[in-house]
Structure 1
Amino acid sequence: MTQDSPEERTQQAETDSQAAPDPLVGEGLLDEEMGPSSSMAHLYRGEIHRMKFWRERLDRTTNWAVVVISALLTWSFSSTGTPHYVILIGIATLTVFLIVEARRYRGYDIWRTRVRSLQQNVFAKGLDPSLELRNPDWRRELASDYRQPTLKITTEEAIAHRLRRIYLPLFGLLFVAWVVRITAFATDSWLATARVGAIPGTVVTLTVAAFYVAALVVAFRPRTWHARGELRFEDLRR
């Protein structure tokens, strides 16, 4: 009688595990033998740490954006001789911060997606085994993501998230400040005041208007959201 090689035994074990998935995965998770020393608990703790680290990176970008915009607004209104295009520089600077934060948000979403998968399919099941799994194939998907991590959302969706949560109010504040700067502090017509060097005021105004229309379209156009756990639905705020 021949014995199977280690490779054959490994392949057979994988086949058996795939053929007979455990319908009660997560049950007993909170029992004494599955306490804080278990590998699942360590895995979850590690993912929480990563998610927290990337969350802090997002906050740092937002904080820098607020500080820079505050300084530019203070400088812009400190003297009537300060050119209005300082605020336009603030809009461009804020756009750079938005792009940087959107890239960080895509990285943050990787870890948050894993955390939400463990919470929904393991911890929720462990707390109440009678619950039905939302995604019976979650283990295969999570294992695939550990083998080959991938970004879950597009750059546009990440930008839309950050616009809705943080940056639209900041852009709105800069827009109001710019309008006040070229109207209330103007000694000539507002179109003449909006001029930047050799660029006519009409061109500057149309460019600013086009930028804000594009930002609103990106933020509010209908789309299928792929990020998990975003507090964008009213029923989550009750």
Structure 2
Amino acid sequence: MGSDRERQSSDDNELGGEIDDDISTMSSVLGDAYRGELDRETTWRDRLDQTTTWSVTVMAAILTWAFSSPDNPHYIILVAVLAVSTFLVIEARRYRDYDVYRSRVRLFQKNLLANALDPSQELEHEEWRSELSEDYQRPTVKISFFEAISNRLRRIYFALLFVLLLAWIFRVTAFAPDESFRTVATIGELPGGAVSVLVGVFYASILVLTLWPHEREAMGEFRDDDQQTWKDTG
């Protein structure tokens, strides 16, 4: 049994060596691998979009109901805040998985495709094939959950949560102009002042997560300050 496994391992190593020595075969293998990783990246990109769509849908439904009648409680908008925050956590987890496949695609693009188009450029990752092989053998997430949360907040969720905050403030004040904000903001036995403090702490935390200055580890992501102008070389 042991000799059979050793023989199989030896055959696999020889096969890998033959593929590595044959440029045409290696090109075909890398091309298939690139298309496979690109397809998986696209699939996870779609899953991110689905989460965002559900967030917007739930948010719109709750806001419509909250403003449909003065008798509807204002705290239903805070329920929307919790729902959108839950979708934010789900999307952050999906984003970490999405980034795994995007990082592989970027390795191909930066070190294979870019080099094929312009061989004069130096490779950014000299050992990119070894890095990719290691990642295939022991796949791991590339970014922290904190960075994933921060990314999704900057992209879309901070705007959604900010709209909900404005809607809540307007809903509290719009239908009871003669009463104080603290009185109207009361939820059951919880006084309006305490509700306001809790909401303020939550949004302060969200703001810190969104604007926290840190070096991002995500590979190949567009930056807002990155811009390249196409030049006429004709």
- Interval of TM-score (by shorter of Structure 1 and Structure 2): 0.7 to 0.9
2:189 maps to 1:189: no
For residues 125 and 90 of structure 1, the distance between their equivalents in structure 2, rounded to whole angstroms, comes to 48
For residues 84 and 9 of structure 1, the distance between their equivalents in structure 2, rounded to whole angstroms, comes to 69
For residues 228 and 173 of structure 2, the distance between their equivalents in structure 1, rounded to whole angstroms, comes to 40
For residues 233 and 116 of structure 1, the distance between their equivalents in structure 2, rounded to whole angstroms, comes to 18
What RMSD in Å do the two structures reach over aligned CA positions?
2.6
DSSP-derived class of the 1:229 partner: coil
DSSP-derived class of the 2:198 partner: helix
Offset from partner CA, 1:5-50 (integer Å, 9 cap, x none): 9778988999x9xxxx99xxxxx8xxxx579x81111110000000
- AA partner of residue 174 (structure 2): A
DSSP-derived class of the 2:226 partner: helix
Offset from partner CA, 1:94-148 (integer Å, 9 cap, x none): 0000000000000000000000010000000111111100111222111110001
- AA partner of residue 87 (structure 1): I
For residues 47 and 122 of structure 2, the distance between their equivalents in structure 1, rounded to whole angstroms, comes to 35
- AA partner of residue 59 (structure 1): D
2:212 maps to 1:225: no
Question: In the alignment, what sits opposite 1:80?
Answer: 70
Question: In the alignment, what sits opposite 1:211?
Answer: 202
DSSP-derived class of the 1:38 partner: helix
For residues 94 and 100 of structure 2, the distance between their equivalents in structure 1, rounded to whole angstroms, comes to 10
For residues 92 and 120 of structure 1, the distance between their equivalents in structure 2, rounded to whole angstroms, comes to 40
Select which of 101, 115, 120 maps to 1:125: 115
Task: Rate the CA distance shift 1:195–1:11 in 2: closer, same or farther, 3 A.
Answer: same
Question: In the alignment, what sits opposite 1:137?
Answer: 127
* Larger displacement relative to structure 2 (97-106 or 180-189): 180-189
Offset from partner CA, 1:204-235 (integer Å, 9 cap, x none): 00000100110111111111101122222312
Offset from partner CA, 1:43-69 (integer Å, 9 cap, x none): 100000000000000000000000000
DSSP-derived class of the 1:234 partner: coil
- AA partner of residue 69 (structure 1): M
| 5+ residue gaps, structure 2 | 1-5, 230-234
Q: How many residues align?
A: 219
Question: In the alignment, what sits opposite 2:98?
Answer: 108
DSSP-derived class of the 2:123 partner: coil
TM-score where L is the length of structure 2: 0.86
For residues 81 and 15 of structure 2, the distance between their equivalents in structure 1, rounded to whole angstroms, comes to 58
TM-score where L is the length of structure 1: 0.85
Task: Rate the CA distance shift 1:9–1:62 in 2: closer, same or farther, 3 A.
Answer: closer
Question: In the alignment, what sits opposite 1:54?
Answer: 44
DSSP-derived class of the 1:217 partner: helix
2:189 maps to 1:198: yes
Offset from partner CA, 1:176-210 (integer Å, 9 cap, x none): 00010111222411111111000011110000010
Map 1:85-96; keep pairs closer than 5 Å: 85-96=75-86
